[in-house]
Amino acid sequence: MNINNKWLKYSLFFAIIAICVSCDQQTKIMAKEQLAYKAPVEYLDGMFKLIYAENTGAFLGLGDSLSPNLKYLFLIFIPTLVLFIFAATYFKASSSITQFIGMSLIVAGGVGNLIDRIAYGSVIDFMNIDIGGLRTGIFNFADVAVSTGLIVLLITIYRSGKNAPYPS
């Protein structure tokens, strides 16, 4: 099912952005109040940890040691430009509702983390998962939105490829 109604597209897009950014910012405020300068809190025999961290770099701290000007360029300006172009391009394209939701989640997560970078110079992360000895990096709600959006997009693309006619 494609979304061709512009009003519906804009409403859905901004609702997803508002909900995700609100949840992201509220959980980061709670993490700062409840976890900063305290020992990690463990659940399910350490499988899930709440641990406060401020990430001044990009994904997993990449770029943390860059100069302030390069940090601004690579962590604020370019991501803002990419998110804007990504969202604007996606509004023009005809897409299925699942593709649109996936893309909206990716943009929402990006916006949530950009707010932190612009306001505080770092992103607050506070969740960590260990599944069978495989431990994730420390992440936040915005990262979950981006990851979920990416998974939704990949599943949608995979499924659409299975239904596509093969060239002869």
Task: Per-residue pLDDT tens, the chain, 168 aa: give them.
Answer: 566 677 888 898 899 999 999 999 999 999 999 999 999 999 998 899 999 999 876 655 555 566 666 666 666 667 777 777 776 666 666 667 888 888 899 989 989 998 998 888 889 999 999 988 898 889 999 999 999 999 998 998 888 776 544 444
Query: Is 125 annotated as catalytic?
Result: yes
Distance separating alpha carbons of residues 72 and 50, to the nearest angstrom: 29
Query: Is 130 annotated as catalytic?
Result: no
Distance from first CA to last CA of the chain, Å, rounded? 27
**Catalytic-role residue among 24, 116, 130, 143:** 143
**Catalytic-role residue among 64, 116, 125, 130:** 125
Using DSSP bridges, classify how beta strands 123-131 and 41-43 pair: parallel, antiparallel or unpaired.
unpaired
pTM: 0.80
**Contact in structure between 95 and 2 (CB atoms under 8 Å):** yes
* Strands ordered across the beta sheet of 134-135: 41-43, 48-55, 123-131, 134-135
**Contact in structure between 120 and 157 (CB atoms under 8 Å):** no
